[in-house]
Structure 1
Amino acid sequence: MESIEDTHNSQNNLILQTSGIKNSYDSTVPSRLERLLRERELRKSSKSQNANEGIRDGNKDSNVFGNGNELCLSDGDRRAREGELIEGLAVSSLTNGFERQDGRLQRQRLLVVANRLPVSAVRKGEDSWNLEVSVGGLVSALLGVNEFEANWIGWAGVNVTDEIGQRSLTEALAEKRCIPVFLDQELVHQYYNGYCNNILWPLFHYLPLPQEDRLATTRSFQSQFAAYKEANQMFADVVNEHYQECDVVWCHDYHLMFLPKCLKEYNSEMKVGWFLHTPFPSSEIHRTLPSRSELLRAVLAADLVGFHTYDYARHFVSACTRILGLEGTPEGVEDQGQLTRVAAFPIGIDSDRFIRALELPAVKYHIKELQERFAGRKVMLGVDRLDMIKGIPQKILAFEKFLEENPDWRDKVVLLQIAVPTRTDVPEYQKLTCQVHEIVGRINGRFGTLTAVPIHHLVCLLLLNNMNKLLILMDICISWCSLF
């Protein structure tokens, strides 16, 4: 397995590759050796300039990613970058968009575009808002990206229809380097609950599409797909409004598969990357999706397409070759001379956040309290989103089977299952919640005593400090979902 440092380097390299990528084959592209030599000279020039003049920006305001440092590569990043160049994975990140005409290096901005902003907004008055940092795997992963001045564009999670509310929320989010996209309630229902979570999410996890009569399904799919494209266009409008020359636009996840195409229609020179945070299914599964070709071509408009694993990247290339009839290459997908690079970039978390939290007095106190409560018992921990693909019912039933076959362990082991609620307004998820509660209640009634129960099942959002307590306490981790 890759270390946390490796995964953070992978995330940073994804951005760097996007910023330096060419979107077509060019006979003037230098050889690998020439690119390495040019990068070394630029690096020397940058060091000299930093020593004599200093190019650090005076803006020290904090943001959701870090401290807004100047664009610079650490020694580890440079070594990783040079290694990638030697392997021919990318053009030098310092040769396209980083250097101004006067030869000086300019700071490069990163525009992160995701369905949701990294903060949750709660309205307190006509023109006042309360903002809290959201929990989620995407937010946690991007906390480790700090080489860029980053701005986040996304939906604020609330329906704001009045002009005063939109203006005040925009101003409040600007302090967090966030830019809102305002989607109305009906569009969110069709785009997010409909096409994203009812069609794309299940299919990408190898679940069949909803079974309805053919006519109703066609109408439903068509209206939801139209809403999906409309929402993606609204994201593109906001990105284009705030885009500056040499910005890198980093689009995230299955919610925004149409966004690369929309952005390139605005500006063909815009550097666009797209990263998927779910599996990408095999071509046999993907071909069952209505509008599959349209979605694939929209993603291929990006300069760089990233996935968690090599298998997901391979499935994407296979879908493009088998469904669209395009040519797959070792570097990506080629369409009439236009090359979209496809690669795997394992993602990681900021482990230092967890380590620092362990030193807090309140955390230490509660760790001791929990250790005393579960003394003499093995603790099994599961942390999952309450989602159909996470297998929570199957896990709990397997634990019941273990207790049946091993009666000596009934008073010696406890399962702590944390289920983080998600998509609570979707009927299928509501049914799943009821099903899990029924199974837990039956098992606790069967094997529990007056003083102890075998399963502690909590449906709640789990804060970072509480997670650290459980990580220290547990003996076995039987599932883990990155939520921080």
Structure 2
Amino acid sequence: MVHFQSDPIPGNNCYGNGSSHHFPGSDEGLIRERELSGKGFHLNKSSGNNHGGPFRQRLLVVANRLPVSAVRTSEDSWSMEMSAGGLVRALLGVKEIEAIWIGWAGVNVPDEIGQKTLTKALAEKRCIPVILDEEIVHQYYNGYCNNILWPLFHYLGLPQEDRLATTRNFQSQFEAYKKANQMFADVVKEHYQEGDVVWCHDYHLMFLPKFLKDYDRNMKVGWFLHTPFPSSEIHRMLPSRSELLHSVIAADLVAFHTYDYARHFVSACTRILGLEGTPKGVEDQGRLTRVTAYPIGIDSDRFICALELPRVKAIIRDFEQRFEGRKVMLGVDRLDMIKGIPQKILAFEKFLEENAYWHDKVVLVQIAVPTRTDVLEYQKLTSQVHEIVGRINGRFGSLTAVPVLHLDRSLDFHELCALYAVTDVALVTSLRDGMNLVSYEYVACQERKKGVLVLSEFAGAA
């Protein structure tokens, strides 16, 4: 077990006056600036803190995307916007570790001036950029990550066009993936200090543990997967299966959200690599890589405390007036094939067909946050959802009310907390989901109402 040395932080309550040591978070852009100001997190090279205190172990979080997205406003200036995402939301709970985030800023910066000013601007947010050009992003991120690994890990199989494509096309994406992982490793090496713990995240960086261990075998490296890990029979479809598995088990600790995913990983290592699986993990020539399940959580205090804010209370009153006399069912999802949004809405339509009494007494609020809007399959999904919603509202709606309220956008943090608080039934209908935090957020906001959570067994929530 990797041990994090930390000091208690006085006054670090919900919205107290103490120093805030939160990770940069999404919260749809409403995280307080003081949480991004860098208080307590230092990008220095000393082993002690600014007051000459004892050594504090640092945590280097390495993920494909930074928790902020950079927008260039001029040749030498940048503005920062909060990134949405489950990993960002989850790490808001990390308060007592000196932490630095390393990742791609989501923008192409070909000129040296831009790279220097971007690095300086991100340093204020405790972030370090990995500079990737457009071709690398296209081949590595859009290609190998999202066109090969993501579908396979979610049991969708390899895309048909890739099964028919030339080996050279697949190989070029794989080489770009490997090159991008090496670029991430180079940035980590540049900022690594002895004693740091390096925490690598997700399927984008499966080569990173090996590259880091090749650099320093004493480096403490963990790798955490935020998607499902498929059974060995699915994983063995991947041409580069063995190389990726060997690279991941170079880490000291490999972690997943659920026990099933951890079990699948150990099974893949034993069946594909011929290694020995143990109750603690995978053993390779006497070296043990620990494999375990660590269900990720949220900073529930942030939601609980938000409900006491005057602004949130006002929004709750508005929602209660609007939905008076009707039960509220809620879905909050990324607009993604694995989230089961069409299936959820079709099930609601069936419910209305079979229960005429409820036609004007229930409303389904579906928040569908757009994602990968430039991908054809996601554009088709959007059209499909809109078609189903329009049909249901046309069949069962009236001049004064509609049964489905559908939004193609995210809500800000305060609105979301208020909506959670007034909801009677939350629906999480994932078809295959590695991490889902909506269930946690809903429960955190339900102290007064005590509504019902309908949770898919494939939701990746524990």
SS at match of 1:349: coil
Q: 1:381 to 1:63 in 2, by over 3 A?
A: closer
Residue 331 of structure 1 corresponds to which residue in structure 2? 280
Out of 338, 344, 348, the residue aligned to residue 297 of structure 2 is 348
Out of 134, 139, 157, the residue aligned to residue 190 of structure 1 is 139
Paired residues of 1:247 and 1:271 also in contact (CA < 8 A): yes
Out of 317, 321, 328, the residue aligned to residue 266 of structure 2 is 317
Q: Report the identity percentage.
A: 75
What amino acid sits opposite 2:2 in the alignment?
T
SS at match of 1:143: helix
Residue 482 of structure 1 corresponds to which residue in structure 2? 437
Give 1:321 deviation, angstroms. Answer: 0.0
Root mean square deviation of aligned Cα: 2.4
Paired residues of 1:283 and 1:323 also in contact (CA < 8 A): yes
The aligned runs of 1:451-462 (5 Å cut-off) are 451-462=400-411
Q: Distance in 2 between matches of 1:68 and 1:331?
A: 35
Q: Distance in 1 between matches of 2:2 and 2:383?
A: 44
The aligned runs of 1:152-163 (5 Å cut-off) are 152-163=101-112
Paired residues of 2:63 and 2:102 also in contact (CA < 8 A): yes
Paired residues of 1:221 and 1:290 also in contact (CA < 8 A): no
Q: 1:369 to 1:217 in 2, by over 3 A?
A: farther
**Is 1:168–2:117 an aligned residue pair?**
yes
What amino acid sits opposite 2:303 in the alignment?
F
Residue 154 of structure 2 corresponds to which residue in structure 1? 205
Q: Distance in 2 between matches of 1:289 and 1:270?
A: 29
**Is 1:18–2:39 an aligned residue pair?**
no
**Is 1:471–2:420 an aligned residue pair?**
yes
Give 1:214 deviation, angstroms. Answer: 4.8
Q: Distance in 2 between matches of 1:201 and 1:439?
A: 27
**Is 1:396–2:380 an aligned residue pair?**
no
Give 1:146 deviation, angstroms. Answer: 2.2
Give 1:462 deviation, angstroms. Answer: 2.4
TM-score normalised by length of structure 2: 0.83
Give 1:63 deviation, angstroms. Answer: 6.1
Q: 1:276 to 1:183 in 2, by over 3 A?
A: same
Greater mean alpha carbon deviation, residues 404-413 or residues 140-149: 140-149
What amino acid sits opposite 1:395 in the alignment?
K
Q: Distance in 1 between matches of 2:3 and 2:182?
A: 22
Q: Distance in 1 between matches of 2:96 and 2:318?
A: 40
Q: Distance in 2 between matches of 1:432 and 1:217?
A: 28
**Is 1:360–2:319 an aligned residue pair?**
no
SS at match of 2:254: strand
Q: Distance in 1 between matches of 2:126 and 2:197?
A: 15
Out of 14, 23, 45, the residue aligned to residue 64 of structure 1 is 23
Paired residues of 1:136 and 1:482 also in contact (CA < 8 A): no
Residue 114 of structure 1 corresponds to which residue in structure 2? 63
Give 1:331 deviation, angstroms. Answer: 0.9
Query: Displaced runs of 4+ in structure 1, greater than 6 A?
Result: none
Paired residues of 1:68 and 1:150 also in contact (CA < 8 A): no
Give 1:213 deviation, angstroms. Answer: 7.0
- Residue by residue over 1:246-266, the C-alpha shift from the partner in whole angstroms, topping out at 9 and shown as x without a partner, is 111000011111110111121
Out of 67, 77, 82, the residue aligned to residue 128 of structure 1 is 77
Residue 222 of structure 2 corresponds to which residue in structure 1? 273
Q: 1:290 to 1:460 in 2, by over 3 A?
A: same
Q: Distance in 1 between matches of 2:200 and 2:150?
A: 17
What amino acid sits opposite 1:187 in the alignment?
I
From the CA coordinates, give the structure whose radius of gyration is larger: 1
Give 1:147 deviation, angstroms. Answer: 2.6
Q: 1:331 to 1:283 in 2, by over 3 A?
A: same
Q: Distance in 1 between matches of 2:361 and 2:172?
A: 54
The aligned runs of 1:39-438 (5 Å cut-off) are 64=23, 68=40, 106-212=55-161, 214=163, 216-438=165-387
TM-score normalised by length of structure 1: 0.79
SS at match of 1:365: helix
Q: 1:469 to 1:133 in 2, by over 3 A?
A: same
Relative contact order, higher structure (CA 8 A, sep 6+): 1
Paired residues of 1:108 and 1:149 also in contact (CA < 8 A): yes
Residue 88 of structure 1 corresponds to which residue in structure 2? none
Paired residues of 1:63 and 1:177 also in contact (CA < 8 A): no
Q: How many residues align?
A: 402
Give 1:274 deviation, angstroms. Answer: 0.3
SS at match of 1:124: strand
Paired residues of 1:153 and 1:178 also in contact (CA < 8 A): yes
What amino acid sits opposite 1:288 in the alignment?
M
Q: 1:213 to 1:229 in 2, by over 3 A?
A: closer
Give 1:61 deviation, angstroms. Answer: 8.6
Unaligned runs of 5+ in 2: 9-18, 25-34, 430-435, 442-462
- Residue by residue over 1:292-333, the C-alpha shift from the partner in whole angstroms, topping out at 9 and shown as x without a partner, is 111100101101101111111111000000000000011110
SS at match of 2:160: coil
What amino acid sits opposite 2:223 in the alignment?
W
Q: Distance in 1 between matches of 2:327 and 2:74?
A: 49
- Residue by residue over 1:361-382, the C-alpha shift from the partner in whole angstroms, topping out at 9 and shown as x without a partner, is 2221121111111100010000
Give 1:62 deviation, angstroms. Answer: 5.5
What amino acid sits opposite 1:379 in the alignment?
V
SS at match of 2:390: helix
Which structure's residues are more often helix, by fraction?
1
Paired residues of 2:41 and 2:100 also in contact (CA < 8 A): no
- Residue by residue over 1:51-94, the C-alpha shift from the partner in whole angstroms, topping out at 9 and shown as x without a partner, is xxxxxxxxx79663675389xxxxxxxxxxxxxxxxxxxxxxxx
Q: 1:143 to 1:214 in 2, by over 3 A?
A: closer
What amino acid sits opposite 2:190 in the alignment?
E
Give 1:202 deviation, angstroms. Answer: 1.4
What amino acid sits opposite 1:393 in the alignment?
P
What amino acid sits opposite 2:317 in the alignment?
K
